[in-house]
Amino acid sequence: MRSAFSKALVEAAQNDKRVLLLTGDHGYALFDEFRRSCPDQYINAGIAEQNMVGVAAGLAKAGFRPVVYGLSAFVPVRVLEQIKIDVCYEKLPVIFTGDGAGLVYSTLGTSHQSFEDIACLRAVPHIDILSPCDAHELTACMRSAFAQAGPVYMRMGKADLGAVHEALPDLECGKLLRVLDGDHPVTLVATGSMVKAAQTLGRELGASVWSAPWIKPLDTTQLSSIAAGTRAIITLEEHSVVGGLGGAVLEALAEAGPRPVLRVGIGEQFSLTCGSHAHAMREHRIDLESVRQRIAPFVAKWQAA
């Protein structure tokens, strides 16, 4: 998925000289091709992320299309105030990319893990939030981000889980993408790295599965239509259950017509142990087997209803 990001970024920069990449001293190997192809469009702002966002805002006001890259623990979390005031307040077309979202940087501990990034930004006006699940969605998300007139945040999680889509999806603002059809009374809605798990669970249950590459805004009309065709919904995300996809779905359905929603994500805890990404997923009970156990009572209840 990260290679798809690099390819999409190079393509955008070659087609538009206004596209500039700003990085906070990260991603050297990731941007080798960008620096070879577009050396004059690459800015290493150093380990000064707050200043980097201010620079990007100034460049956007001067007519450029800045892409700000960092680890999601730092972009957007460390620079939330600068995103809010320097960029969103003026509705500037800056694209923020947060790499390693969720628990990807598991071995580096809480300081580098980021499962609150969506929640931080959902309350900030004028910024869209994208969360692709595979390389196809990421390419579509990058194209959509450059098509927006205002700020966009795109989170990138675990990159090597395999393809969900067979081809580039037709991505529309706020809309979910159908991953799997099914006739089970419970429907799964997932985002980012958890779409792959949802796909596996959907096949086991015979349930419909939807991917949410666009977290903000959400198309309430489409979501209401999906809800009308099911008894209950399960959301899955490598993010806190507070303020993420599950919260967005709950809020939308509460206004449009309620459906029971089970939110599967990270609970009220930091990582307490150190290990691989798989280890961290197990610790927070969002690995496939743990999710299977967590949703079983909910699935049984609504299957019998």
- Tens digits of residue pLDDT in 133-185: 999 999 999 999 999 999 999 999 977 788 999 999 999 999 999 999 999 99
193 and 58: one domain? Answer: no
Report which DSSP code applies to 188.
Answer: E
Kindly state whether residue 169 falls inside one of the protein's structural domains: no
What pLDDT score was predicted for residue 67?
Answer: 98
- Three-state DSSP at 29 gives coil
Residue 196 has pLDDT above 80, yes or no: yes
3-state helix vs strand vs coil in the chain, percent to 5? 40, 20, 40
What CATH number corresponds to the domain at position 214? Answer: 3.40.50.920
What pLDDT score was predicted for residue 125?
Answer: 98
What pLDDT score was predicted for residue 213?
Answer: 98
What pLDDT score was predicted for residue 255?
Answer: 84
Query: Model pTM?
Result: 0.96
Please give the average per-residue pLDDT across 5-21, as a whole number: 97
Residues 6 or more apart whose CB falls under 8 angstroms from that of 183 comprise: 206
182 and 136: one domain? Answer: no
What's the distance, Cα to Cα, between the start and end of the chain in Å?
A: 40
187 and 115: one domain? Answer: no
Kindly state whether residue 165 falls inside one of the protein's structural domains: no
d(CA 145, CA 152): 6
Please give the average per-residue pLDDT across 117-124, as a whole number: 98
270 and 140: one domain? Answer: no
What pLDDT score was predicted for residue 160?
Answer: 79
Please give the average per-residue pLDDT across 254-282, as a whole number: 93
What CATH number corresponds to the domain at position 107? Answer: 3.40.50.970
142 and 189: one domain? Answer: no
What pLDDT score was predicted for residue 162?
Answer: 87
Residues 6 or more apart whose CB falls under 8 angstroms from that of 92 comprise: 57, 60, 61, 86, 150, 151
Kindly state whether residue 205 falls inside one of the protein's structural domains: yes
Question: Can you give the residue range of the structural domain that contains 86?
Answer: 2-156
22 and 99: one domain? Answer: yes
Are 66 and 12 in contact by the 8 Å Cβ rule? The answer is no
Cα dihedral sign for 181, 195, 247, 137?
Answer: negative
- Three-state DSSP at 37 gives helix
243 and 120: one domain? Answer: no
Residue labelled with tokens 């249950």: 205
33 and 94: one domain? Answer: yes
Please give the average per-residue pLDDT across 27-47, as a whole number: 93
Mean per-residue pLDDT of the chain: 96
Kindly state whether residue 170 falls inside one of the protein's structural domains: no
Q: Which residues pair with 262 in a beta bridge?
A: 234
Kindly state whether residue 101 falls inside one of the protein's structural domains: yes
Are 281 and 103 in contact by the 8 Å Cβ rule? The answer is yes
Are 99 and 69 in contact by the 8 Å Cβ rule? The answer is yes
Half-sphere exposure (Cβ direction) of 268: Cα atoms closer than 13 Å: 0
104 and 206: one domain? Answer: no
pLDDT bucket at 256, cuts 50 / 70 / 90 = confident
132 and 272: one domain? Answer: no
Please give the average per-residue pLDDT across 74-96, as a whole number: 98
